[in-house]
Structure 1
Amino acid sequence: MRTLSLTRVWMILLAITAATYWIGEAGLTGHGSMGPVLAMFSLAFAKGLLVCLDFLELRHAPALWRWLVAGWLALVLALIVLAYWIGLP
């Protein structure tokens, strides 16, 4: 992959990290609302997918590998969200 493309992906990852940090520090997640939590985990999924596709070079791998990695990531994040939701009062 070209250096410019990797730099662009890295900048996107930084922006997503900043957005996630802002959501967490704004105190939006502590009031039993699932919206901000889902937003944070959606951003985490996007970050994980970008890392897997661009830095682990899965973008050029067979489709089966991309689907397996994306499915695993989605499953793990869904289970974490489920555990959070079960723990809500």
Structure 2
Amino acid sequence: MSFLHRNDGIALALAAATACTWWLGEGGHEAISPAVVGSVLALAGLKGYLIANEFMELRHAPAVWRRLVLGWLVLVIGSIGLVSWLASR
């Protein structure tokens, strides 16, 4: 029997990712660089993937639902990244 269950480890990973995004966003930078924005969006994507697959139990759902939810996640994060990139130019 292990010390942590699967969901406990995922919850700890989500908490660590949240702490990292907070640290990156509130780091006292005068200007947020594209690398910081990319890192925050990548962590947001990872968090969304873990929440959808593990806590919404999409890994047991039909493939069409997984594709729809994860495709929506990619579309939203990609759109935010594109707007941020265009605004920084």
If the TM-score is normalised by the length of the shorter chain, which range does it land in?
0.7 to 0.9
TM-score normalised by length of structure 2: 0.85
Which amino acid in structure 2 is aligned with residue 75 of structure 1?
L
The one-character-per-residue Cα deviations of 1:25-44 (angstroms, maximum 9, x if unpaired) are 1135824x211110100000
The answer for unaligned runs of 5 or more in structure 1 is none
Q: Which residue of 1 is the match for residue 70 of structure 2? A: 70
> Aligned partners of 1:29, 1:42: CA distance in 2, in Å?
21
Does structure 1 residue 54 correspond to structure 2 residue 57? no
TM-superposed CA distance for 1:64, in Å, is: 2.1
**Deviation readout 1:10-64 (Å, 9 max, x if unpaired):** 1110010011111111135824x21111010000000001010011010111222
2:69 is the counterpart of 1:87: no
Unmatched 5+ stretches in structure 2: none
Letter in 1 for 2:74: A
Give the CA deviation at 1:87. 1.6
Give the paired residue count: 86
Identity rate, percent: 42
**TM-score, normalized by length of structure 1?**
0.85
1:22 maps to which residue?
23
Provide the rounded CA distance (Å) in 2 between the counterparts of 1:73 and 1:65. 12
- Please identify runs of 4+ aligned residues in structure 1 that moved more than 3 A: none
